[in-house]
Chain A
Amino acid sequence: MGSFQFYKPKGVEDLLKMKAELGERGLILAGGSNLLVYIRNGIINEGTFLDVKNLKPLKGIDTSNGKITIGAGETIREILESAKLREKIPFFPDSMKEFANPLIRSKATIGGNAADASPAADTAPPLLVLDTETVIGSHRGERVIPIKEFFKGPKKTALKPDEVLLRFQFSVPEAGKGVFLKFGLRNGTAVSVTSLAAWLALDGGKAVDIRIALGGVAPTPVRAINAESALKGQKLNEESILTLSEEVEKDLRPISDVRGSTEYRKDLTVELLRRALRKLSGTEAAL
């Protein structure tokens, strides 16, 4: 074991100052459900914990002014139970029902989930579908980048060593609804193998707004741009859903360290997309 120190920042400025001093040795400790597991497994063996668990400025959900803002320190449970979010965009809290189990949900934060950058991170597909912006802070100031530029590879993000995720922000789409589907190896504490979030707005039966994001099928969570362009403007019925969903195959990229063969994940993703589209287009009942 290397050596660890512990520090509880008194505010964001203090946190950013410490992060500037320590760089990668500054280990931001939110829920600890990734970080403390990495330490236990010997993957990380030195550094200074910067305990942000109760740091107020990283907390908070705001839904005023047509924009949704979620602090990086909000737990999955807080998001799931947020009445404000449920009122404005039930899709988002509903997506969190798939996340592990209540014990993990009350620890795990949305910021920790994104910063950990697992290709199968459960908050990622819903955040991608909503064109979320991440607000990043450092002693140099704040910058805003789209979530799709935030994920760089398995366990790699756009965060520089002195940067901290502060919050997420997105606008509620004008029309439509969303769904998140996940296929995991084990219920309860499963880290998902394949997941899919979709948002659909129909006009006269045609998909006028279609957004699809995938987890666990590429080195980062991704938008399924090929499937999206195949579906855009199309009339959705059982037949078009069956055939057009195949297009999502072009959006998959191999990841070496994820269980499940490529072929299997392809079939699974196509099937998840079909289910999502049936649900969102209301053609499900006809089956």
Chain B
Amino acid sequence: MSERKLYDISLTVNDREVKGRVKAETTLLDFLRSNNFTEVKKGCEIGDCGACTVIMDGEAVLSCITLALQAEGSKVYTVKSLGTWEKLHPLQKAFVEHEALQCGFCTPGMLMTAKAFLDKNPHPTRDEIREAISGNLCRCTGYKKIVDAIEAVSKREAE
């Protein structure tokens, strides 16, 4: 057996430089989780659920169907970049206020999708919000409260 080839990788996660050695097939999801960014959730691992969504170079990206090596040199943000307990991001606050989470499994991905979306389209319609989060599955809330929360943030920002 020949030695498995490993590749050097370097990127920033939440503005912190992260370096490592990965296999060719290591996903960005596994790379992040093995570097203690376990706030990125591992759901279906086949692009179906959106739990693993992070923001990469300004776009919401499914990290389970992205190779770690494809993120070389990129700026990646996880849900922990949004806010802290003391100082919650408006989206996080709105999710709490509107009870837009129950088990919370979908929330890290949902928040990152919502963040990337509002950055591009700050004043969307409810239909546009629903469409924007249609790749993020939630088994608990029935989506209405999530749409409410995102809409509330977009309205607040309009003031």
Contacts and interface: CB of A to CB of B under 8 A. Distances in A.
A39 B25 contact: yes
Contacts of B78: none
Interface in B96-125: 113, 117
Given A4-B25, A32-B67, A102 B134 contact: yes
Interface in A19-36: 29, 31-33, 36
Interface in A49-107: 49, 51, 53, 100-104, 106-107
B69 A51 contact: yes
A29 B25 CA distance: 11
A140 to B, nearest CB: 28
Contacts of B67: 6, 29, 32, 36, 49, 51
A103 B60 CA distance: 7
A103 B53 contact: yes
Contacts of A40: 45-46, 64
Interface string B1-42: 000110100000000000000011101000000000000000
Interface string A167-206: 0000000000000000000011100000000000000000
A29 B24 CA distance: 12
B135 A101 contact: yes
Given A32-B65, A32-B66, A106-B60, A4 B24 contact: yes
Contacts of B148: none
B157 interface: no
A108 B64 CA distance: 14
A170 to B, nearest CB: 28
Nearest to A35: B65
B134 A187 contact: yes
A49 B113 CA distance: 28
Contacts of B53: 103
A45 B59 CA distance: 29
Given A101-B134, A106-B59, A51 B65 contact: no
A249 B60 CA distance: 42
Contacts of A189: 47-48, 134-135, 137
Interface of A: 1, 3-6, 29, 31-33, 36-37, 39-41, 48-49, 51, 53, 100-104, 106-107, 187-189
Given A6-B69, A36-B67, A106-B59, 5 more contacts: A5-B5, A36-B66, A103-B47, A103-B135, A189-B134
8 contacts: A32-B67, A36-B66, A51-B70, A101-B135, A102-B132, A102-B135, A103-B60, A106-B61
